[in-house]
Chain A
Amino acid sequence: MNLAQTTLLAGLLSTASAMAAPLTYVLDPAHSFPNFSINHLGMTSIHGRFDKMAGKVVFDAAARSGSVEVRIDTASINTGDAKHEAGSWVARTHGPRSRDEHLRSADFFNVAEFPEMLYKSTRFNFNGEVLDSIDGHLTLVGVTRPVRLTVAQFKCGPHPFYKRPMCGADAEATLKRSDFGLKFGIPAIADEVKLQIGLEAYPE
């Protein structure tokens, strides 16, 4: 093999390894939200979300591996009941403090002491070529528990308008808040919480 052939071979090998290297994607905060729902009084489901989530996804399609780490601002919780205006029906019926204010208190997310919750993956589980689930740990109010996210859909490709590469995913999980010490109101407010997380991310 002569020098030109050696150089060409080295270039092809390095290109191939670059294509197979894991890519880091940064979450788009405008299109990434953790949503949740919980049964209230056995009558209805209260839906809410955290408005601020940030993090990174590292994904290696060739190696079928990856990792995700997201931080959620617990004070950004939003269940559609932000403030009770003085004299309003909700204030007269439910008191001066809103549900979102209650959720931020020591009874629930205790944002004054724990301003963030953290999810850190330990393993990506594939079913053939398809990302099936993600195992990881959720740290909430200082308590860490394993949580498996079931991936409903995961896709990488160009943005349909701007043609930038991007990835998007929908994942779900069900957990018991009492596992994290969030016991207030059980059973009137259900122990089981359903998570639906949608995220979009762009290469770093």
Chain B
Amino acid sequence: MNDLLGNPALQGGVAPFLAALLAVVIVIWLLRADRFAGIAITVAFITAVALTVGWSFESMSATRKLSLLGIGAGVLLLAAEAARLAPRPALRTAMAVAAAAATLWLLLGVLRQMAPVAAALAAAAGALFVAALVDSGQGAPRNSLQSGATALVLGLAGGALALLGASAVLALMCISVGAGAGAVLLVQMISGKRLATAWTLTWPASAVVGPVAVLSVLTGGVRWYTVLPLLAVPWATRRLPVARHPVWLETILAALAAAVPAALALVLAWAGSGAA
């Protein structure tokens, strides 16, 4: 059993996916509250954290802070949906700013070890990147398939980047987010119905993948320019004409579109790792 629970594929993929699937089924079909379906992505993330690093916060490293950040994004999602907040520009900006501030908090331990000028540049660039990613991810406020595809591809791409940055734990955390988004998309594909809300769906993904991408650059040797294409992932899902496609087809097309900039990021990271 320990061997099974120690398998990375189960820790980052299978278990989070199944946990998210259960959460989506409960939220959509039992509670009939599909606006909260995005919490399934947080459930997937929590599952991965429980199976990998656990819940000790004796040492507040960046990884431990990321655990709290992922949960915090889920709590905000629940609060925003419970209050039926509309995706107004001011609120979207507030979320982006909050994400930037949270990223600075997460990076404190790393920044303390850097020279002051380098730390200031890293802090500014990292915060700006995460703010841009969170804001970009909110750009499809009414299309749960585009938002779901964004979360799916960001999670998987962020995981691959973290692996190239030599951290399997951060990779599993990102992949779990992708797995959770996959569960949310799968339920929509099976039911043929879109969710009532979309703009909060990307919060759990952006809140995890953004800081992991920054950590991969600062601590994992990933070149800084390789993470920039991730900013285009949400944009890419919205390039497709919004025609009346079946839900399953629109989901696949959105995911494929999102995969283009994600693939570019991975190609750049692979080439920069010296493996090419």
Contact = CB atoms under 8 A, between A and B. Distances in A.
Contacts, number: 87
Given A96-B164, A107-B169, A183-B54, A113 B275 contact: no
A181 B166 contact: no
User: Which of A85, A106, A114, A141 gathers the greatest number of chain B CB atoms within 10 Å?
Assistant: A106
B59 A102 contact: no
Contacts of B270: 96
B221 A106 contact: no
Contacts of A181: 53-54, 56, 58-59
A186 B2 CA distance: 9
Interface string B158-178: 000001111111100000000
B166 A102 contact: yes
Interface string A40-60: 000000000000000000000
Nearest to B56: A181
A84 B274 CA distance: 8
A92 to B, nearest CB: 9
B237 to A, nearest CB: 29
A102 B168 contact: yes
Contact of A106 (B6, B112, B170, B275): B170
Contacts of A184: 52-53, 168-169
B215 A106 contact: yes
A8 interface: no
Contacts of A101: 166, 221
A112 B273 CA distance: 18
Nearest to B108: A113
User: Which of A105, A110, A114, A183 gathers the greatest number of chain B CB atoms within 10 Å?
Assistant: A105
Interface in A100-129: 101-102, 104-107, 110, 112-115
A4 interface: no
A9 B6 CA distance: 71
Interface string A73-112: 0000000000011100001000111000110111100101
A27 B113 CA distance: 25
B62 interface: yes
A11 interface: no
B121 to A, nearest CB: 16
The size class of the interface chain B forms with chain A is: 35 or more
A106 B54 contact: no
Contact of A112 (B58, B163, B164, B218): B218
Interface in A24-44: none
A125 to B, nearest CB: 27
Contacts of A86: 274-276
B274 A105 contact: no
Contact of B275 (A96, A107, A114, A187): A96
Interface in A133-162: 141-143
Contact of A113 (B6, B62, B163, B273): B62
B89 to A, nearest CB: 35
Contacts of B2: 187
Interface string A169-185: 00000000000010111
Nearest to A189: B6
B3 A187 contact: yes
A101 B168 CA distance: 12
Given A107-B168, A142-B58, A142-B59, A112 B6 contact: no
Interface string B232-275: 00000000000000000000000000000000000000100111
Contacts of B218: 112
A13 interface: no
B60 to A, nearest CB: 7
B215 A141 contact: no
Contact of A186 (B6, B165, B220): B6
Contacts of B62: 106, 110, 113
A188 interface: yes
A104 B220 CA distance: 9
Given A97-B273, A101-B166, A186-B6, 16 more contacts: A95-B275, A96-B274, A97-B165, A105-B165, A105-B167, A105-B220, A106-B167, A106-B170, A107-B166, A107-B170, A114-B109, A141-B61, A142-B60, A181-B54, A183-B54, A188-B6
6 contacts: A102-B166, A105-B219, A107-B166, A112-B113, A112-B219, A142-B59
User: Closest 5 A-B residue pairs measured CB to CB?
Assistant: A142-B59, A96-B275, A113-B109, A112-B219, A97-B166
